[in-house]
C-alpha cells in the first residue's frame, strides 16, 4: 500500500511544485516520473519499496519510457528486467520524433 504523504527526502525533486499538496493517487505519475528520472538512490528506493518492481515496470511500459532518457531507460531495463527489444523500440521511436520535431519548424 502506497502512503499518501510523501517523505521529506522527495522535496528537493519537486522544487517547482507545492510539495505539501502532492500526493497519491492524484500525482502518482508525476511523482514516479520525477523520481525515476531525477531522484537520488534514497528517493528511488522509497518509490520501489512503496510500489514494488512489477508496478514500476508496468508504469514504464504504459508510457513507453517517456520522460526517461536513453541512459535511464537502459538502467531501468536492467534493474526491472524490461525486455531489451521493447526498450530498443521505445528509443528508436523517440529518436525519430526528435528529428521530425526539428525539421517541422
pLDDT in tens, 67-96: 999 999 999 999 999 999 999 999 998 876
Contacts of residue 22, Cβ cutoff 8 Å, sequence gap at least 6: 6, 14, 30, 31
In the chain, the percentage of residues whose pLDDT exceeds 70 is: 88
In the chain, the percentage of residues whose pLDDT exceeds 90 is: 74
The x, y and z cell numbers of residue 72, run together, are 535511464
Domain limits at 42?
10-103
For residue 104, is pLDDT > 70? no
- From CA 40, how far away is CA 84, in angstroms rounded? 24
Whether 74 is in a domain gets the answer yes
Whether 59 is in a domain gets the answer yes
Whether 5 is in a domain gets the answer no
Give the pLDDT mean for 40-61.
95
Whether 2 is in a domain gets the answer no
For residue 1, is pLDDT > 70? no
Whole-prediction pTM:
0.81
Whether 91 is in a domain gets the answer yes
Amino acid at each position: 500500500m502506497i502512503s499518501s504523504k510523501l517523505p521529506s527526502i522527495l522535496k528537493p525533486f519537486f522544487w517547482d511544485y507545492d510539495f505539501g499538496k502532492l500526493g497519491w493517487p492524484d500525482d502518482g505519475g508525476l511523482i514516479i516520473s520525477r523520481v525515476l528520472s531525477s531522484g537520488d538512490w534514497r528517493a528511488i528506493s522509497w518509490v520501489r519499496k512503496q510500489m514494488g518492481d512489477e508496478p514500476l515496470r508496468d508504469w514504464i511500459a504504459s508510457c513507453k519510457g517517456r520522460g526517461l532518457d536513453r541512459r535511464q531507460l537502459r538502467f531501468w531495463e536492467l534493474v526491472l528486467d524490461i525486455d531489451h527489444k521493447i526498450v530498443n523500440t521505445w528509443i528508436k521511436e523517440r529518436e525519430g520524433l526528435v528529428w521530425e520535431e526539428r525539421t517541422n519548424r
